[in-house]
Amino acid sequence: MCTKQRSKKNWLFYLSVIGLIVTIFPGVCFSQPAASPIVFGMPAPLGESASISGWRAAQMAVEEINAKGGVLVGGVKRPIEIYSIDTREHEPGIPIHDALMAIEKLILEKKPHAIAAGPMRSEVLLAALDAIVYKYKLPYMVTIAMTPVLEAKISENYDKYRYVFRINPNAIYVVKLLSEVMGFLGKEFGFKKAYLICQDVLWAKATINGLEKGMKATGWEIVGKDVYPTGASEFSASLAKVKETKAQVIIPVFDMPQAAVLLKQARAMKVPAIIAGGIEPAARSEAWKVFGGEVEGFINTIFTAGHIPVKAIPRSVGFYENYGKKWGKTEQGKLSQTGAATAYDSVYVLVNAIERAGTLESEALVKGLEKTDMIGAIGRIRFSKGHQVIYGFDPKESAIGVAFQWVKGERVV
């Protein structure tokens, strides 16, 4: 009898203590466990301009989404975490294998539900299809690499490569964008002789070769074509040949930082030709100051809206302005041809697909991504059967690129 009485008193005492704790600290005993985060990865060469701006843009998108409560999955709002790793793939002499090892390291250590951005080099992208994508079967968003071989591989072997989606344009669209520029120059000024110069990487060579074929078909004479290794900074031999052949237009296609030297050398050699093409460091708004006005008159291309604000795409204006507010005017001035707006939109595209699918399961996300139809900083975002965002010249129907000319310190569209 005494034992039972003592047990009852002890039980009542414990209840009283618990009640007191709950009264003083109401959230301690019955708080709900925090929702587990959604994890995104971004393997990219973080020493390269387009990639580091892409990393910043992706973080900005994640912060915006988390500030609104996160991502709704199965009735639960979950925050996003995003992690990067430096693949160094932009550096001359770095083996593709090293970049693949970095991507795999990120996947194994951080266990992302999807890769939100990267890679830069097409060579790394193609190697990753078998070494990474097929092995881990994660949704993989491409935001810089441009080889059109990707769509062909997805179309030919959908079951194997269906996890890959590209936000940025491919080299075929860059050819179309440059062809529009060449068509204008031919019509307005009667130009018909061009000299092609490009970097020895897959996307640049594909662009130049496609452009050469198209220009010849429309009556242009291609008087020369040179290819330079990544890291080259001496272009005077090609410029001398431009003068000898009396080329009217020089068409350079480069993403390496040294390529802007071509503009300085052309001015110093008094080469009497218009330069119109795609040079990444000369696409940034800071280029006028960095190169001391040597970019004057250069007609350049930006592969995706957002890196330059386009009034017809309000989200491109918002992205550009918010990027400057978040990271400062100096970093805003480094936004180049692609990489940033594509990474920013990629995060939103993934979130849109996750919320529609109601799950993080890869196969469901693939189906969700295929049905994407939304407006981003780059324009309207829809995927082709080859999982390439459709690019054109009407932002209501497609994503778009932009051509502009440097005039008295301003990028004039």
Query: Tell me, what amino acid is at 45?
Result: P
The alpha-helical segments, DSSP class H, found in 148-277 are: 149-156, 158-161, 171-189, 202-217, 236-245, 261-268
pTM over cut 0.75: yes
Tokens of 156: 């030919």
**Alpha-carbon span 226 to 203, nearest angstrom:** 15
**Alpha-carbon span 192 to 185, nearest angstrom:** 9
At residue 15 the predicted structure's pLDDT band, cuts being 50, 70 and 90, is: very low
> Is 55 or 22 the better-scoring residue by pLDDT?
55
Contact 139, 366 (CB under 8 A): yes
Domain 38-169+310-400 -> CATH class: alpha beta
Q: Is the pLDDT of residue 412 over 50?
A: yes
Nearest to 223 by CA among 241, 204, 205, 211: 241
Q: Which residues contact 94 (CB under 8 A, 6 or more apart)?
A: 88
pLDDT score recorded for residue 35? 86
**Alpha-carbon span 245 to 237, nearest angstrom:** 12
pLDDT score recorded for residue 28? 44
At residue 92 the predicted structure's pLDDT band, cuts being 50, 70 and 90, is: confident
Given strand 80-86, what is the order of strands in its sheet? Answer: 80-86, 38-44, 114-115, 140-142, 164-166
Q: Is the pLDDT of residue 30 over 70?
A: no
Domains 38-169+310-400 and 172-302 share a fold: yes
Residue ranges per structural domain of the chain: 38-169+310-400, 172-302
Q: Which residues contact 406 (CB under 8 A, 6 or more apart)?
A: 282, 287, 288, 295, 296, 297, 298, 300, 412
Phi-psi category of residue 182: left, alpha or beta, with phi > 0 → left and psi -120 to 50 → alpha: alpha
Mean pLDDT calculated for residue range 133-157: 96
Tokens 């049905």, located at residue:
371
pLDDT score recorded for residue 33? 57
**Alpha-carbon span 28 to 90, nearest angstrom:** 51
CATH code linked to domain 172-302:
3.40.50.2300
Q: Is the pLDDT of residue 58 over 90?
A: yes
* Residue 201, helix vs strand vs coil: coil
